[in-house]
Amino acid sequence: MFKGRGFTLIELLLVIALLAILASMAIPSYLAYRDRSKVSNFALSIASACAKDAMADCVSRFVDAPTTFDLSNLPNCSNVNTAMGNVEVLLDGSYTCAPGGVASGTVKGVLAGVNNYTAVCEFGGNSFRCTVR
């Protein structure tokens, strides 16, 4: 008589169900991580370059009173196609030059196709900080 040494059908179905539950929790986290890394690698570097141009522009202008400027006139503040293919990075915002440097402003880099994360560079105290939100 044959003595079976294996898994029963119920045991196999339980393992498959458990793997499906774990995958359903892991896949959304992975997709969010992937989108955040895309924004970090592409939009954040472009927004940071734009913010550096704004800082340099304010230092080169000798303004007597706070004056607001548009980002569209700066060389690194235009839309860019990245290595991800036909991906457009949209930059928007403005900055205010004060005597001695940048007083305030914001640069936002939005990667087309990624709606849940944005690269943001904020000016303050003659410096800027870039983050992904």
Beta strands per DSSP E along the chain = 67-70, 80-81, 88-98, 101-111, 119-124, 127-132
Q: Is residue 57 part of a domain?
A: yes
Neighbours of 120 (CB within 10 A): 20
Neighbours of 88 (CB within 10 A): 12
Q: Is residue 3 part of a domain?
A: no
- Domain extent at residue 89: 9-132
Q: Tens digits of per-residue pLDDT, 22-68?
A: 999 999 999 999 999 989 988 898 889 988 988 888 888 888 888 88
Q: Tens digits of per-residue pLDDT, 68-77?
A: 888 888 888 8
The model's pTM: 0.77
Number of domains in the chain: 1
Q: Tens digits of per-residue pLDDT, 109-128?
A: 888 888 899 899 988 877 88
Q: Identify whether the C-beta of residue 89 lies closer than 8 Å to the C-beta of residue 82.
A: yes
Q: Is residue 127 part of a domain?
A: yes
Q: Is residue 36 part of a domain?
A: yes
Task: Categorize the per-residue pLDDT at 87 as very low, low, confident or very high, splitting at 50, 70 and 90.
Answer: low
